[in-house]
Structure 1
Amino acid sequence: MIRYPIWDRQKKIGVTAPSSGVQKELQPMLWMAINYFKNQGQEVIVTPNVWTQEKVVSSSAYVRNNELNALLTNQEISLIIPPWGGELLLEMLPLIDFNSFPTKWLLGYSDISGLLLAITLKTGIATAHGTNFIDLRGTTMDDTTASYQKVLTTLPYKSVTQQSSSFYQSKWDFEKTNNSPFYLDTPTKWRHIDPTITSQHLEGRVLCGCIDIIRHLIGTPFGDVEAFWQEHIPDEPVLWVLENCELNSADLRRNLLQMHYAGWFKHCTGILFGRSNANEVFEDYHFIDVYQILAEELQIPILYDIDCGHVPPQLTFINGAYLEVSYSNGHATVIQTFN
């Protein structure tokens, strides 16, 4: 059984940095995000380590854990959103008390996906893979990014529907994003690994994350997918939603093989891969070759270039929720049920 938090929008938003903090020259974007919530009548509590960054982390693992725990135990806070990802989230996982983890929403992606997936696998508490705090800024917001609000306010045993985006951001350019978090300049098209298939229905329990990060959970107490499946979702299919931040095609293949060999795809009935600017060709080995080989090995459908990850905007996927994806001619309807 999965436990779903409920976002009480009358309560405060908590911001802490379990991975990287925000360098001084980038802090104006942080203030824009704070003001975005204030303009909606919501108070934001920001922990000290959000404003600091040294040696690729916001603070020591102990400080990061303590500041996260301060927000988790604060009854006035209903939603926690890190400013963004980073590099060394993994350092703090052994310090977290998963046995008494509260049922409270955490939202983020990139390095933060290691924390989100670990929480869900260890506790059965749903976590939210989606936008980070810095990207909730400006005066306007696209529908895909804004969908985090209706997803996180969905009640247990209810469903929430999202649509694939119309446009995505081809490259990062903060000069063009003063009034909106993203500059959406390229038409979105979800793709099926078999180009002859124009429609497909997939369903299963969501497990989501950045491949670069979550594969490091394999073989640790924080990445026991089989134990999670047996305890919380027995006899149910799994849909993996994965994204690639920095891996070239050969790296991607090795990481996916490690996940496969570790049994992470044992109950998998489909995989959705997010858009990526890191899908570099290694010699003549293309990332599509990786997807095709994996689809053949696992005998499952694969969709790619979906709205997830480091090429925004992205949908909000809930680790543990029951996901139904209806794909048709490059677009998709995504329904998640909190049962």
Structure 2
Amino acid sequence: MPTRRSLLKTAVFAPFLPFSSERFSTTKPNRLKPGDTVGLICPAAPAYSRETVQITIESLQALGFKTKLGTHFYDRYGYLAGHDADRAADLNAMFADSSVSMIMAMHGGWGCARILPLLDYELIRRNPKILIGYSDITALLLGIHAQTGLATMHGPVGAVTWNSFSVGWLREVLIDGRAVTFQNPEKKEDNLTQTKDRIFTLRSGQARGQLVGGNLTVLSHLLGSPYLPDWKGKILFVEDTHEDIYSVDRMLTHLKLAGVLEQLAGFVFGKCTSCEPGSGGYGSLTFDDVLTDQVVPLNVPAFAGAMIGHITDKFTVPIGINAEIDADKGTIRLLESAVL
């Protein structure tokens, strides 16, 4: 099966639409309430396992919600969950369905960028609701935010581990509607000091701005399209998985050359899981080397290691919501609720 990296190289983006994110202020969706319906869709990779789908349904039911599957939920077209038009139709239908309060992607994978030109952004603006996911879903989170102003949620997809950490943050942000402070767990376990989920301060200080971000690979492949927000004064958070160090370096360089990094008020790199130096040739830079080269010279507060990414324990981070980061403490503090 093709890798995510090889698939992303084939992405073809649509022509510019006649409007951009600068027209819209942020619109917040309504918070989740007991008895609400969560619409499950597959906008990228197919739903390979019916057992995994059933676990997702039962987990959402355990939280007090009903579920509804998209019409084309179980479709498959190669490595995609059906044809582009059908995947887009499912997402449009979920926004149009007044009985659905939250739309959750079942999987990431690849394919969301392909349906961005097929979405009904006027429909979405008229029917704001929670859209949540991560990895390839970044394309939808950023594209819809850029084209409508809707605050979207970088958080669990259906096929995650529904543990107390991830569910707890989802509950606080989307159900309780709290202006939370995201901070990594402090666990020494059977060690003299903490060895896991540590924060690495790149540049000390505090910064305020709207949160934007997601998967670094997906985000960088959207550059040059109308599906990214304005970067001025924003706090950018990124994450990735199974990327060579040179690839991370290349994508951060791309953001730098495109003028993105120089506009930021702050920067957070979550987790880059399985992003280890290669062993061939003349050796490799390390992940720390790349962040030191690319991020430290920006001279804005920045840190790495936040619980954002392809990990079991993850935050639910809103896009388009004002926040303050403290690079010394490794915290992201929401300055407002992400939902109404």
Return the TM-score normalized by structure 1: 0.81
Which segment drifts farther, 59-68 or 213-222? 213-222
Q: Judging changes above 3 Å, is the alpha-carbon distance between structure 1 residues 244 and 303 closer, same or farther for their aligned structure 2 residues? A: same
The residue that corresponds to 1:134 in the other structure is 159
**AA matched with 2:184:** S
Which residue of 2 is the match for residue 67 of structure 1?
Answer: 90
Percent identity, aligned pairs only?
A: 22
- Give the CA deviation at 1:68: 0.9
Note the C-alpha offset of 1:311: 2.1
Whether the aligned pair in 1 keeps the contact of 2:202 and 2:296 (CA below 8 Å) is no
Alignment partner of 1:51: what SS?
coil
3-state secondary structure, aligned to 2:272: coil
Q: Could you say which residue in structure 2 is the equivalent of 1:148?
A: 170
What displacement does 1:335 show? 2.8
| Contact 2:161–2:312 (Cα < 8 Å) also in 1 | no
1:85 Cα deviation (Å)?
A: 0.4
2:131 aligned with 1:106? yes
Shift of 1:336: 4.3
Would the alpha carbon gap of residues 134 and 167 (structure 1) be closer, same or farther in structure 2, given more than 3 Å must change?
farther
Q: Which residue of 1 aligns with 2:29?
A: 5
DSSP 3-state at the match of 2:331: strand
Give aligned pairs, total.
302
Shift in alpha-carbon separation, 1:284–1:41, aligned structure 2, 3 A = closer
Residue of structure 1 equivalent to 2:99: 76
2:245/2:284 contact within 8 Å kept:
no
Q: CA deviation at 1:11?
A: 2.1
Cα deviation 1:167-226 (Å, max 9, x = unaligned): 69xxxxxxxxxxxxxxxx9732111126xx6xx433221001101111111111212535
Unaligned runs of 5+ in 1: 169-184, 230-236
1:122 to 141, 147, 156: 147
CA offsets, 1:69-105, max 9 Å, x none? 1111000111010112011211111101223313111
Q: 1:262 aligns with which of 258, 262, 266?
A: 258
Residue 176 of structure 1 corresponds to which residue in structure 2? none
CA distance in 2, matches of 1:314, 1:224: 24
Deviations 1:282-333 (A, max 9, x none): 423111111011124322232111100112311111111011233556x536
Q: 2:234 corresponds to which residue?
A: 238
8 A Cα contact 2:302 2:327, kept in partner: no
Per the alignment, do residues 206 and 224 of structure 1 end up closer, same or farther by CA in structure 2, a change over 3 Å counting? closer
Task: Give 4+ residue runs of structure 1 displaced > 4 Å after superposition.
Answer: none
Q: Given the superposition, is the C-alpha separation of residues 265 and 54 from structure 1 closer, same or farther in structure 2, using an over 3 Å criterion?
A: same
Go from structure 1 to structure 2 and tell me whether the alpha carbon gap of 1:217 and 1:162 turns closer, same or farther (over 3 Å shift): same
Note if contact 1:144-1:164 (Cα within 8 Å) is conserved in structure 2. Answer: no
CA distance in 2: counterparts of 1:336 and 1:14, whole angstroms: 28
Give the C-alpha shift of residue 269 in structure 1: 1.9
TM-score in terms of structure 2 length: 0.81
Partners in 1 of 2:40 and 2:201 — Cα distance? 37
Structure 2: how far apart are the matches of 1:17 and 1:64?
Answer: 7
1:293 and 2:293 aligned: yes
Equivalent in 263, 269, 274 of residue 270 of structure 2: 274
2:240, 2:303 → 1: CA distance? 14
Residue equivalent to 1:180:
none
